[in-house]
A = this chain, B = another copy of it.
Amino acid sequence: MCEKCGCGDVQHVSIEVHQSLLAENDRQAAHLRQHFEQDGVLAVNVMGSPGAGKTALLEAIALAVAGRLRLAAVSGDLATALDAERLERAGIASASISTGSGCHLDARMVHEALHDPRLGTAARSADVFFIENVGNLVCPAIYDLGQAVNVVVLSVTEGVDKPLKYPVMFRKADLVVLSKIDLLPYLPGVSLATLTDNVARVMPLAQVIALSAIGGAGVAEFAGWLDAQRAAARGGHMQ
């Protein structure tokens, strides 16, 4: 359409600044991780597209482990505290992080949220601390939040090709939860076999749980996975 497109030096400056931001974030994340480990808290970074079912997953697990595990959470969104309110109603001590126009949580935001006395106290004495990230299958993947493990929630309604199209996120996953499986009968062309196969193509050590927060399928398996992660973390600390 025209002769020339000059990208400008600003792109290169941008890369340098971005690397500085990531380095600063990593420093704060390491600090958070130290606290979580000292307090014996399993920190879980829960990521996925908008509407993948992250909050519904946490509501379902709260019901499943009620009276057995203490849970706390922060929940990130551009606006509203709707998710944190849902989590509170489900019995999870929660705080909301509003990012404004920000597309992901960073370690500083989580750190500041934990300075709130109520959440800080709950988180310190929790068995599991969930960090429900902003709904986004891209940006949250590259920001360390001090978590022990990454859970990526992928709704079967999103289609079978998402692991291939968003590999950066799935490469970082310790577990992929395939959610809303109760809707599978109504989704032509979507099968758990193809989804699992596509996850395995990009995820280093593919671990998948098929789950329905409404029907309850897979929720006990997810609780068992959390227990295994807690045991592994305790083993790691004793070394």
Give the B-binding residues of A (Cβ under 8 A). 1-2, 5, 7-8, 10-11, 13-14, 17-18, 20-21, 24, 28, 31-32, 35, 49-51, 77-80, 82-83, 101-103, 108, 111-112, 114-115, 120, 124, 134-139, 142, 155, 157-159, 161-162, 164-168, 180, 182-183, 186-188, 214
Contacts and interface: CB of A to CB of B under 8 A. Distances in A.
A23 to B, nearest CB: 8
Given A2-B31, A17-B13, A114-B1, A135 B78 contact: no
Contacts of A155: 51, 157
Nearest to A1: B35
Given A10-B17, A138-B103, A186-B186, A167 B79 contact: yes
B164 A79 contact: yes
Pick the most buried of A51, A108, A187: most chain B CB atoms within 10 A of its CB.
Answer: A51
Given A51-B155, A83-B165, 12 more contacts: A1-B114, A5-B112, A8-B24, A17-B17, A50-B137, A50-B158, A101-B168, A136-B138, A157-B157, A183-B186, A183-B187, A186-B186
Nearest to A19: B10
Most buried by B among A1, A80, A139: A1
Contact of A14 (B17, B103, B166, B182): B17
A49 B103 CA distance: 12
A1 B157 contact: no
Contact of A78 (B20, B51, B115, B167): B167
A158 B154 CA distance: 12
Contacts of A124: 1
Residue from A103, A134, A180 whose CB has the most chain B CB atoms within 10 Å:
A103
Contacts of A50: 49, 137, 158, 162, 165-166
Contacts of A120: 1
25 contacts: A2-B31, A2-B35, A5-B108, A5-B115, A8-B24, A13-B17, A13-B20, A14-B18, A49-B50, A49-B135, A49-B137, A50-B162, A51-B157, A51-B158, A51-B162, A79-B164, A79-B166, A101-B142, A103-B138, A157-B157, A157-B180, A157-B183, A182-B186, A183-B186, A188-B214
A82 B17 contact: no
